[in-house]
């Protein structure tokens, strides 16, 4: 007799149903798992044997073949433990199931004493099972319950041990499914670091434009002028995550986390970060720890940009362009979402005082330009805005705009243009990026004078669109284009 039940596997944030089949054969007792099981799945044979024996089920009594289909997909992770245990018990005739096990799906790691442990990427796995019309119930570990409540699915039930699961399957205890609802807490944003930065009006304006329109930003300036403070204030200036974004984020990073989960991610990896750590390159990288994915939907802050390893910086080209990273691993390909806003900071020269009015810079010109060239052209090319910050002046005061007003403007513009954020070509004749009259003339002049490529022109117009939105204008005007062009900070690269 063949018994069937369901579980799931995942490739990064993409879950898929796995059918577990078990069949007894008359041969010496053994558990054989087929269907490309990974190392953790292979080990589950010993775990399950010990766990089930402890609960009074000495299995297997003969040879059991457990097959995981589709056979061509590699199955990784400990989430299959529970489903395989149920299939083994059913095949041995030790489960008096009142519920059809082929329409139940199981996710959970089994401890040797029968407790159920939560698994990583539970949200991706459970979402795939929840959407499968063949599946009526998804049984998960209690440890994953808070995370899975985000799905608000009536199919999902949480249990803390195998015994509880068996009791439910045998209809000895029926706990009605109560979909929980999750309401984001009202937390006032921490805008203290924005208010701490004195002066730096141009940088603050650039940051506001960057956050409103999702334009990558580079802050250049001597040490101690507030580059890091400004970058750190960024996450508090954009609206908190909504539920859909939180689900995306938890799915992609593979774990629920703790603390205020609705806060925008802000990741600031050190410049000694490895390729594996930043973009998940190499085969051994843990998918849960890839910085660009942890920053998905939020901000990636790279301080001291030229100090990052060249190959690490180059690897950012793909996520900056596409909003995801593609990892090629042995036998599989994983796509991880990585749609973040890049805020980078750097000194203009090795000593840091090249553009400073108060302190002299003694760096030889060749070393200054070599320092800047450590960051390649294609990376600079993907940065939309660049501002040079000077030393604070004695008359500088806090910004005339409070953080609350800036936040409000940014939220308004993000609501307006969210769907048009992107890097592809834009239509300059029709639609929101249309240039008319003086604006068109101004752009034609600009292209002629500066031999501007289409790509550079489109980038400038995109920024100008955000400026016009911040000012509440329907059409892009010359002033918007001028401001966008100034914020390209071309002089810095000469
Ligand atoms: Zn210098």
Asked if residue 399 has pLDDT above 70, the reply is no
Residue 379's nearest CA partner among 209, 218, 212, 491 is: 218
Distance 54 CA to ligand 1 centre (A): 70
Ligand 1 center to residue 389 CA distance, Å?
15
Q: Is cis: bond before 70, omega within 30 of 0?
A: yes
pTM of the model: 0.86
Respond yes or no on whether the N-terminal peptide bond of residue 60 is cis (omega within 30° of 0). yes
Task: Say if residue 192's pLDDT is above 80.
Answer: no
Does pLDDT of 179 surpass 60? Answer: no
Tens digit of each residue's pLDDT (9 = 90 or more) over 85-121? 999 999 998 888 788 899 999 999 999 999 999 999 9
How far does residue 271's CA lie from ligand 1's centre (Å)? 20
C-alpha 349 to ligand 1 mean position (Å): 5
What is the Å distance from ligand 1's center to 112 Cα? 62
Q: What separation in Å is there between the alpha carbon of 266 and the centre of ligand 1? A: 30
Count, residues in the chain: 494
Q: Give distance in angstroms: CA of 238 to centre of ligand 1.
A: 34
Residue 470, Cα to own-chain centre: how many angstroms?
27
User: How many angstroms separate the alpha carbon of residue 354 from the centre of ligand 1?
Assistant: 5
Q: Which of 136, 32, 123, 29 is nearest to 84 (CA)?
A: 32
How far does residue 482's CA lie from ligand 1's centre (Å)? Answer: 30
Residue 55 predicted with pLDDT over 60: yes
Given the structure tokens 């299959």, which residue do they identify?
80
How many other CB atoms are there within 10 angstroms of residue 270's CB atom? 11
459 neighbors 210 (Cβ within 8 angstroms): no
Confidence at residue 259, expressed as pLDDT on a 0 to 100 scale: 75
Rounded to 5 degrees, φ, ψ at 316 are -80, -10
Q: In the numeric block, which tokens belong to residue 10?
A: 């995942």
From the list 413, 385, 417, the residue with the least C-alpha distance to 207 is 385
Place of tokens 């007792």: 29
Domains of the chain: 2-169 (3.30.230.10), 203-423 (3.40.50.300), 424-494 (no CATH)
Cα-to-centroid distance, 378 and ligand 1 (Å): 24
Neighbours of ion ligand 1 (CB under 5 A): 349, 351, 354, 361, 363
Q: How far is Cα 355 from Cα 8, in angstroms, rounded to an integer?
A: 57
DSSP result, 239-303: PPP-HHHHHHHHHHHSS--SS-TTSPPEE---TT--HHHHH--STT--GGG-HHHHTTTSEEEES
In this prediction, residue 295 has a pLDDT band, given cuts at 50, 70 and 90, of very high
Mean predicted confidence (pLDDT) in 429-443: 88
Spacing, Cα 372 to ligand 1 middle (Å): 11
What does the pLDDT read at residue 481? 93
Range 161-167, long-range pairs (CB < 8 A, 24+ positions): 161/114, 161/115, 161/116, 162/51, 162/55, 162/82, 162/85, 162/110, 162/114, 162/115, 162/116, 163/55, 163/114, 165/82, 165/86, 165/106, 165/116, 165/139, 166/89, 166/95
- Supply the pLDDT for residue 99: 81
Q: Nearest to residue 124, comparing CAs of 324, 287, 328?
A: 287
Residues 233-270: pLDDT tens digits?
888 888 888 888 899 889 888 888 777 788 889 999 99
Ligand 1 center–CA 347 separation, angstroms: 9
Q: What is the pLDDT of residues 296-354, one digit of tens each?
A: 989 999 999 999 999 899 999 989 988 888 887 766 778 888 999 999 999 989 988 88
- The rounded mean pLDDT for the chain is 86
Reference 43, options 78, 6, 82, 92; nearest CA is 78
Report CA(353)–ligand 1 centroid distance (Å).
5
Task: Calculate how far, in angstroms, residue 371's C-alpha sits from the geometric centre of ligand 1.
Answer: 10
Q: What average pLDDT does this structure show over 157-182?
A: 79
Q: What does the pLDDT read at residue 161?
A: 93
User: Which residues lie below 8 Å from residue 361, measured CB to CB, with a gap of 6+?
Assistant: 349, 351, 352, 353, 354, 368
So what's the pLDDT on residue 178? 60
Q: How confident is the model at residue 430 (pLDDT cuts 50, 70, 90)?
A: confident
Q: How confident is the model at residue 50 (pLDDT cuts 50, 70, 90)?
A: very high
Residue 225 CA to ligand 1 center (angstroms) comes to 15
pLDDT at 321: 86
């Amino acid at each position: 007799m063949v018994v069937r039940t369901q579980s799931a596997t995942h490739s990064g944030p993409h879950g898929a149903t796995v059918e577990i089949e078990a069949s007894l054969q008359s041969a010496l007792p053994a558990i054989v798992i087929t269907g490309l099981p990974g190392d953790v799945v292979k080990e589950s044979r010993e775990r399950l044997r010990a766990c089930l024996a402890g609960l009074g089920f000495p299995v297997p009594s003969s040879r059991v073949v457990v097959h995981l289909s589709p056979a061509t997909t590699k199955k990784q992770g400990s989430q299959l433990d529970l489903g395989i245990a149920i299939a083994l018990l059913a095949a041995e005739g030790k489960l008096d199931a009142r519920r059809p096990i082929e329409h139940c799906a199981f996710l959970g790691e089994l401890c040797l004493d029968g407790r159920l442990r939560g698994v990583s990427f539970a949200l991706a796995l459970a979402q795939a099972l929840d959407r499968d019309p063949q599946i009526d119930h998804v049984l998960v570990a209690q440890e994953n319950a808070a995370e899975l409540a985000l799905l608000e699915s009536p199919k999902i039930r949480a249990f803390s041990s195998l015994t509880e699961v068996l009791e439910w399957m045998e209809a000895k205890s029926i706990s009605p499914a109560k979909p929980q609802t999750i309401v984001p807490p009202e937390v006032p944003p921490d805008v203290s670091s924005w208010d701490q930065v004195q002066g730096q009006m141009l940088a603050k304006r650039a940051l506001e434009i960057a956050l409103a329109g999702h334009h990558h930003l580079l802050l250049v300036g001597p040490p101690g002028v507030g580059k890091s403070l400004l970058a750190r204030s960024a996450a508090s200036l954009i609206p908190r995550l909504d539920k859909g974004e939180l689900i995306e984020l938890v799915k992609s990073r593979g774990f629920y986390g703790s603390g205020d989960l609705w806060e925008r991610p802000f990741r600031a990896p050190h410049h000694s970060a490895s390729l594996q750590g930043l973009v998940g390159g190499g085969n051994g990288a843990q998918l849960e720890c890839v910085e660009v994915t942890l920053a998905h939907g939020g901000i990636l802050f790279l301080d001291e940009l030229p100090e990052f390893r060249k190959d690490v910086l180059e690897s950012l080209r793909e996520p900056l362009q596409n909003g995801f990273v593609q990892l090629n691993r042995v036998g599989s390909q994983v796509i991880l979402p990585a749609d973040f806003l890049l805020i980078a900071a750097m000194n203009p020269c090795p000593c840091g005082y090249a553009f400073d009015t108060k302190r002299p810079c003694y760096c030889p010109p060749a070393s200054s330009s070599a320092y800047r060239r450590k960051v390649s052209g294609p990376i600079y090319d993907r940065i939309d805005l660049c501002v040079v910050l000077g030393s604070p002046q004695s008359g500088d005061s806090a910004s005339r705009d409070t953080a609350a007003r800036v936040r409000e403007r940014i939220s308004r513009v993000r609501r307006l243009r969210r769907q048009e954020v992107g890097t592809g070509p834009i239509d300059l004749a029709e639609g929101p990026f249309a240039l008319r009259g003086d604006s068109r003339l101004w752009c034609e002049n600009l292209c002629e004078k500066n031999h501007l490529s289409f790509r550079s022109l489109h980038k400038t117009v995109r920024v100008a669109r955000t400026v016009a939105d911040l000012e509440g204008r329907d059409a892009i005007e010359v002033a918007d284009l001028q401001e966008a062009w100034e914020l390209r900070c071309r002089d810095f690269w000469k």
